[in-house]
C-alpha cells in the first residue's frame, strides 16, 4: 500500500515538473527524416529523461501514432517537447525565428570534430539524419557555413565490422556529452531538468 502511495506521489511530482517553462531547455535534438520507429521512441525516452527538446523533420518512415512507435516511446511523449516540421526548409525557418544564441551541430560519419572535442553551448541544436541516407546536403551546409554553423561531429568507431552506430545510441552519446559539459560549465543538471507538455502544431495531429 505504501509503495503504491509513493509511486503515485512520484508520478505527481514528475507531472508537476513537466509543466515548467520550455524556455529553460538548453539543448534540442533534431531528427531529420528518421525511418525506424524504435529509434525515435528510444530517443524520445532519452529526451524525456534529460529535459531536452525533440524535433522531427518530415518525411518520416512511420506514422506518429503507429503501434511500433507507441510500444517504444508512447508513455514518454507527454514529457517531451515535440514539434514536427514539414521539411528541412520549414524547420530551418522555425529555427531562425527562435530567440537567443543558437547553433546547428550536425552528427555525421564523416564529421570534422570528434564529439568530445566540441565545446557545447546552451542553445545548441543537435542534428541527426536518416538511418538510411544520413543528413541532407542543406543541413550539412547550414551546419558548416553561415551564421548558425556549429560544425559537423563524428563519433569515433572502428569500421572493420560495422558501418555505423545505431541512431538512438548516437543521439544518446551526443546528448549526454553535451549535458556533461554544460553541467560543469553552467551548473545545469539534467537530473533537475525542466520537462514540459508537448508543443503541438497543425502538423502534430498524430500525437496522442
69-95 residue pLDDT tens: 656 555 666 677 789 999 999 999 999
Q: Has this prediction a pTM greater than 0.85? A: no
Arithmetic mean of pLDDT, 189-208: 42
pLDDT value of position 67:
65
Contact 139, 104 (CB under 8 A): yes
Helices within the chain (DSSP H only): 2-17, 37-50, 67-73, 88-97, 137-144, 167-186
**3-class SS at 50?**
helix
160 contacts: CB under 8 Å, gap ≥ 6:
none
d(C-alpha 150, C-alpha 141), whole Å: 11
Burial of 183 per CB tally in 10 Å (0-12, 13-18, 19+): middle
Assigned C-alpha cell, 2:
505504501
d(C-alpha 76, C-alpha 97), whole Å: 27
pLDDT value of position 120:
96
Taking all residues of the chain, what is their mean pLDDT, rounded to a whole number? Answer: 79
pLDDT value of position 137:
96
Q: How confident is the model at residue 39 (pLDDT cuts 50, 70, 90)?
A: very high
Whether the bond into 59 is cis, omega within 30 of 0: yes
What are the CA-CA distances from residue 11 to residues 6, 7, 139 (Å)?
9, 6, 38
Q: For residue range 111-170, what is the model confidence (pLDDT) as tens digits?
A: 899 999 999 999 999 999 999 999 999 999 999 998 999 999 999 887 778 778 899 999
Lowest average pLDDT, out of 15-24, 56-65, 119-128, 175-184, goes to: 15-24
Taking the chain, what is the end-to-end CA distance rounded to the nearest angstrom?
31
Could you please state the CATH topology (level 3) that the domain comprising 24-187 is classified under.
Alpha/beta knot (3.40.1280)
Contact 102, 123 (CB under 8 A): yes
Assigned C-alpha cell, 116:
568530445
Arithmetic mean of pLDDT, 187-199: 47
Amino acid at each position: 500500500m505504501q509503495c503504491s502511495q509513493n509511486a503515485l506521489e512520484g508520478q505527481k511530482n514528475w507531472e508537476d515538473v513537466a509543466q515548467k517553462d520550455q524556455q529553460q531547455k538548453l539543448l534540442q535534438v533534431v531528427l531529420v527524416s528518421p525511418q525506424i520507429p524504435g529509434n525515435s521512441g528510444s530517443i524520445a525516452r532519452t529526451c524525456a529523461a534529460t529535459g531536452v527538446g525533440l524535433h522531427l523533420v518530415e518525411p518520416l518512415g512511420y506514422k506518429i501514432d503507429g503501434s511500433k512507435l507507441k510500444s517504444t516511446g508512447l508513455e514518454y511523449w507527454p514529457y517531451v517537447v515535440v514539434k514536427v516540421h514539414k521539411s528541412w526548409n520549414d524547420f530551418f525557418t522555425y529555427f531562425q525565428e527562435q530567440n537567443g544564441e543558437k547553433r546547428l551541430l550536425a552528427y555525421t560519419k564523416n564529421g570534422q570534430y570528434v564529439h568530445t572535442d566540441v565545446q557545447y553551448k546552451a542553445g545548441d541544436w543537435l542534428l541527426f539524419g536518416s538511418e538510411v541516407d544520413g543528413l541532407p546536403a542543406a543541413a550539412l551546409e547550414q551546419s558548416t557555413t553561415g551564421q548558425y554553423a556549429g560544425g559537423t561531429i563524428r563519433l569515433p568507431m572502428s569500421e572493420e565490422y560495422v558501418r555505423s552506430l545505431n541512431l538512438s545510441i548516437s543521439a544518446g552519446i551526443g546528448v549526454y556529452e553535451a549535458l556533461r559539459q554544460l553541467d560543469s560549465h553552467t551548473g545545469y543538471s539534467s537530473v533537475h531538468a525542466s520537462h514540459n507538455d508537448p508543443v503541438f502544431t497543425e502538423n502534430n495531429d498524430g500525437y496522442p
